[in-house]
Structure 1
Amino acid sequence: MKYRMLGKSGLRVSVVGVGTWQFGGEWGRTYEQHEVNAILGTAKELGINLIDTAECYGDHLSESLIGESIQGSRNDWIVATKFGHHFHRPFERTDVYDAKDVVKQLELSLQALKTDYIDLYQFHSGPNSSFDQDELWDTLQEQVKAGKIRHLGISIGSNENIHQTSRASDVKAEAIQVVYNRLDRNPEKEVFPSCAEQNLGVLARVPLASGFLSGKYKPGTQFAANDVRSRWDTAKLDSYANEVEAIKREEVPQGTDMAAWALAWCLKHPAVTTVIPGCKDAAQVKANAAAVELVDEGHPQEA
């Protein structure tokens, strides 16, 4: 495994992490504790030390599965979670960024994760009107001082949200989470230059374009009703599949696993610290970790 410093936070993170939205049950299946244990156990064996989750991957369900799994090895992990939503049922949430409620969300996350601190607590894909609340950030700083939060971050909803990115240092956030992959390069325009200017860490989410950059989905693929992708525009999904076929044919070296190539592609950008792909089982954790073999030395955040 390779490691990088997450901007100015001082956190040394593996370049491949574990994304855990799938544990909340909105990606076509549910998870039992033993399955999560196998995924995170394999990740640890491979040197992965970063887990990214959220309050609304289920009603703190993903956090609970993670907390049970890592309670005996908490100090070996960098745990990133998020705030700003109440989960009601699959695919239904409400936004809640009120400062007092966010403190309640934090307490619920701590309980679910069976820990007394969050390594990276992230504003979760909220609008600028919710972001621009001094009371919210002042309250979060109080929680930092109390030791319940070690570092703050911003998971921007739009991968072109330069307003929130540019204000990160003002609100004492030290990392940006953003959608970035070979099919979606929008952050390169303004977000990444701003991150580099402020020395912010970057967590690239959806690095496999929701699985499409694995190369296994063809035009016309149908997803189950309990899979979030079933709710997306079919023309867009077919466009993704067609573009991936062209990329595989024209860019991926012969004999190279496309998923590993796609993760390494993200990690080559000088602003990107780590990728946080989801994984359905231990085998996919191993496949994701194999991207490290394709990552060159000399990245500016190398640790």
Structure 2
Amino acid sequence: MKYRRLGKTELNVSVIGLGTWQFGGEWGKQFTQDEVDAILDKGQELGINLIDTAECYGDHLSEAFIGNYIGRRKREDWIIATKFGHHFHERFTRTDMYGAQDVQKQLDSSLKALQTDYIDLYQFHSGPDTAFDNDELWTMLDKQKQAGKIRHLGTSIGSNDNLHQTEASTKVHSEAIQVVYNRLDRTPEQRVFPSCERQDLGVLARVPLASGYLSGKYKPGAVFDKTDVRHRHDPENTRRKLEEVERIAREEVPEGVNMAEWALAWCLRHPAVSAVIPGCKNPAQVESNANAAKLVTE
């Protein structure tokens, strides 16, 4: 495994992290604690130290799985990033909750679910600019930092071209940006990444495999059943993406190299990117993801 500094946080994160949206059940699979334990054990075995989760991956369900695991391990072995701003109701249904008092309650609920006294990176979760620009929210969060409940603040931008929230990061003491970035969507390279580099913000690249399209497993015409999150995607857009994936596999991926591993390493080639946070359903996928670190040259 290789490690990089997460911007001005000075946290030393593994370049491959563990994304955990799937633990909330919206990938069409209900996880057990034993399955989560096996995934996290494999990650630790391979040198992964970064876990990214959120308050609304289930109603703190993903956090609770992680907390149960962490509670039986060494807390200091892991860098835990979670998020705030939504209340989960049912599959793909959430209510925005960005008010200072609401977020303070969310923070306490996350700490309880995660079975920890502190969160390493607490991220504003894909909210509108009007919610982000609330001084009362960031004042409350700064007080929680002073109280030791939060080590660092971050922003998970909903639009991967949200320059407003990225540019305002230093002002609100946000030290990291999470953004959708992959070989099929290079939008952040234009404005967000240059701003991150100017401010020394860490960057977590989410959806680095483009919802699995860059795994190399699917061909144009693939149909996803109703339990798969990709069933919600526009069919024509899916077809175009998979045709582009075929071209990339043919023209860009070196012969003999696993496409998913190549796609993760491709994200990490950009100097602004600190780590990628792919999801995984089992220990074998964790191992495949971790193998991408071998393709990273710096």
1:137 maps to which residue?
A: 138
Q: Secondary structure at the residue paired with 1:123?
A: strand
Query: 5+ unaligned residues in a row in structure 2: which ranges?
Result: none
- Residue identity in the other structure for 1:90: R
2:220 maps to which residue?
A: 219
- Residue identity in the other structure for 2:32: E
2:19 maps to which residue?
A: 19
Q: How does 1:48-63 map to 2 (within 5 A)?
A: 48-63=48-63
Offset at residue 22 of structure 1 (A): 0.5
1:148 maps to which residue?
A: 149
Matched, 1:28 2:28: yes
Query: 5+ unaligned residues in a row in structure 1: which ranges?
Result: 298-303
1:98 maps to which residue?
A: 99
Offset at residue 226 of structure 1 (A): 2.7
Query: 1:284, 1:262 → 2: CA distance?
Result: 14
Matched, 1:112 2:118: no
Q: How does 1:253-272 map to 2 (within 5 A)?
A: 253-272=254-273
Query: 1:12, 1:125 → 2: CA distance?
Result: 24
Matched, 1:204 2:177: no
Query: In 2, are the aligned partners of 1:91 and 1:228 still within 8 Å (CA)?
Result: no
Offset at residue 222 of structure 1 (A): 2.2
Which stretch of structure 1 is more off in the superposition, 4-13 or 217-226?
217-226
1:38 maps to which residue?
A: 38
Offset at residue 220 of structure 1 (A): 2.3
The total of aligned residue pairs comes to 297
1:10 maps to which residue?
A: 10
Matched, 1:158 2:159: yes
**TM-score calculated relative to the size of structure 2:** 0.99
2:280 maps to which residue?
A: 279
Q: Secondary structure at the residue paired with 2:123?
A: strand
Query: 2:14, 2:154 → 1: CA distance?
Result: 17
Query: In 2, are the aligned partners of 1:260 and 1:291 still within 8 Å (CA)?
Result: yes
- Cα deviation code 1:80-102 (max 9, x no counterpart): 00000000000100111000000
Offset at residue 223 of structure 1 (A): 2.1
Query: In 2, are the aligned partners of 1:28 and 1:224 still within 8 Å (CA)?
Result: no
Query: 1:110, 1:229 → 2: CA distance?
Result: 31
Q: Secondary structure at the residue paired with 2:172?
A: coil
Q: Secondary structure at the residue paired with 2:151?
A: strand
Query: 1:178, 1:142 → 2: CA distance?
Result: 26
Offset at residue 136 of structure 1 (A): 0.3
**TM-score calculated relative to the size of structure 1:** 0.97
Q: Secondary structure at the residue paired with 2:13?
A: strand
Query: 1:206, 1:150 → 2: CA distance?
Result: 25
